[in-house]
Structure 1
Amino acid sequence: MKEYKCVIFDCDGVLVDSELLGNQVFVDMANEHGARIDISYAMQHFKGGFLNDSIRQVEAIIQKQLPLGFEKEYRQRSYQLFSTHLKPVDGVEQVLSKLTVPFCVASSGPQEKIKRNLATAGLSSFFIDNIFSCYDIGKWKPDPAIYLYASESMGYTPNECLVIEDSLKGAKAATSGGFDVYGYTHLNEDPDFENEVTKTFEQMNELISLLKL
């Protein structure tokens, strides 16, 4: 098996169990403005992407602009929910504790969100300053820029890194950048996901054997 020199983790749905929570808040708010979508729709269309793109998609559905304060209210409502319900993905602490190569997190979310969620889930000490956000560079998945930025910042080439992803957009970003990708399928029902990744796994603790930790 190929030995990787660096592991790059997505955040939402890979490190912290935030996908269902965050998307439910978004669904509730979108439906308050007449979108009539459900959590399955959100997980299929919004997961792993840029929040502003999701907002534009909802505006296309309701055929009008959402209020200017929609994003700010979404952040506030999701942070409130995360503060009481957010947990680390089951098994991820054991994986991080056993890793012997450098690792980092690269996420579509803003730095504040990543750091806040890692802290709430008790994972901050694993990453310190190795936190990279699409907001740092102004490019979002499926553009590979975030993973190229993270690998270069960590001092490795794409060929030396492994990306851990749970979304189709994220997997496309990594593969188009030349990275191997292990796809976490626990909450992923997208039929195209498996075709975009190097390997799939359903439980986070499977990484321990996959990476021979």
Structure 2
Amino acid sequence: MKKYKCIIFDCDGVLVDTEVISNQLLVDMANEYGANIDLDYAMKYFKGSHFGHCLNLIKTLVPKPVPESFEKDYRTELDRQFRESVEPIKGIKKVINQLDIPFCVASSGTIEKIRLNLGLVGLLKEFEGKIFSCYTIGKWKPEPDVFLLAAKTMGFKPEDCLVIEDSKLGVQGAKNGGFDVYGYTEHDYYKDLEGLATKTFGSMDELLEMI
């Protein structure tokens, strides 16, 4: 098996169990304006996307204008819900504790959101100084830029790194950058990752064995 020199983790859905919380809130708020969507829709079309993409999609679904405060209201409520209920992905702390090679996080979330979530689940210390956000460079998955930035900053080439992702956009972005990418399938309800990722796995215990 190929020996990787660095692991690049996505954040939401890989390190912290936020996908259902964040997508359900988008559904609830969008439906207030007549979107008429459900969580299944959100997990298919919002998961792995940055907020701007989700908002633009919501605007095509609703019969009346979305207020300018929509994003601010969403982030305020999301922070509140995260502080109340966010948990680490089951088994991820064991993975982090047993890694003997460098690792970092590359996410479509803002730096503030990444730091908040990692802090809430007790992982911020492990990733301090190794946090990379699409917002910093203005490039979004499936573009590979955030992964390329992470690898370069960590001191490695793409072929030396393994990306861990849970979304189709994230897997495509990693592949577009020349990375191997393992797809975490716990919430892969539409089986988007099978046949797309280099390999797939359903639990963090499996990941430890694979790397």
- TM range, normalised to the smaller chain? over 0.9
Residue 120 of structure 1 deviates from its aligned partner by 0.4
Does the alignment pair 1:76 with 2:79? Answer: no
* d(CA) in 2 for partners of 1:18, 1:191: 19
- Residue of structure 1 equivalent to 2:18: 18
One-letter identity of the residue aligned with 2:52: N
Q: How many residues align?
A: 211
For residues 194-205 of structure 1, what are the structure 2 equivalents within 5 Å? Answer: 194-205=194-205
- Residue of structure 1 equivalent to 2:3: 3
Instruction: List per-residue Cα deviations over 1:26-64 (Å, max 9, x = no partner).
Output: 110000111010001000000011111111101111154
C-alpha RMSD over aligned residues = 0.8
SS at match of 1:164: strand
Residue 190 of structure 1 deviates from its aligned partner by 2.6
SS at match of 1:139: coil
Does the alignment pair 1:142 with 2:142? Answer: yes
Residue 124 of structure 1 deviates from its aligned partner by 0.7
SS at match of 2:40: helix
Instruction: List per-residue Cα deviations over 1:60-112 (Å, max 9, x = no partner).
Output: 11154311111111100111000010000000000000000000000000000
* d(CA) in 2 for partners of 1:63, 1:158: 44
Alpha-carbon contact 2:30-2:58 (below 8 Å) kept: yes
SS at match of 1:194: coil
Residue 136 of structure 1 deviates from its aligned partner by 0.6
For structure 1, which segment, 108-117 or 122-131, has the greater mean C-alpha deviation from structure 2 after superposition? Answer: 122-131
Alpha-carbon contact 1:168-1:190 (below 8 Å) kept: no
For residues 172-191 of structure 1, what are the structure 2 equivalents within 5 Å? Answer: 172-191=172-191
Instruction: List per-residue Cα deviations over 1:167-209 (Å, max 9, x = no partner).
Output: 0000000001100000000001233321220100001121111
After TM superposition, where is structure 1 displaced by more than 2 Å over at least 4 residues in a row? none
SS at match of 2:204: coil
- Residue of structure 1 equivalent to 2:169: 169
* d(CA) in 1 for partners of 2:111, 2:47: 18
One-letter identity of the residue aligned with 1:38: D
Give the alignment's TM-score, normalised by structure 2: 0.98
Give the alignment's TM-score, normalised by structure 1: 0.97
Alpha-carbon contact 2:33-2:63 (below 8 Å) kept: no
One-letter identity of the residue aligned with 2:29: M
Unaligned residue ranges in structure 1 (runs of 5+): none
* d(CA) in 2 for partners of 1:130, 1:55: 28
SS at match of 1:66: coil
- Residue of structure 1 equivalent to 2:46: 46
* d(CA) in 2 for partners of 1:155, 1:64: 49
Alpha-carbon contact 1:49-1:141 (below 8 Å) kept: yes
Alpha-carbon contact 1:184-1:203 (below 8 Å) kept: yes
- Residue of structure 2 equivalent to 1:103: 103
* d(CA) in 1 for partners of 2:207, 2:142: 24
* d(CA) in 1 for partners of 2:34, 2:180: 40
* d(CA) in 2 for partners of 1:204, 1:158: 23
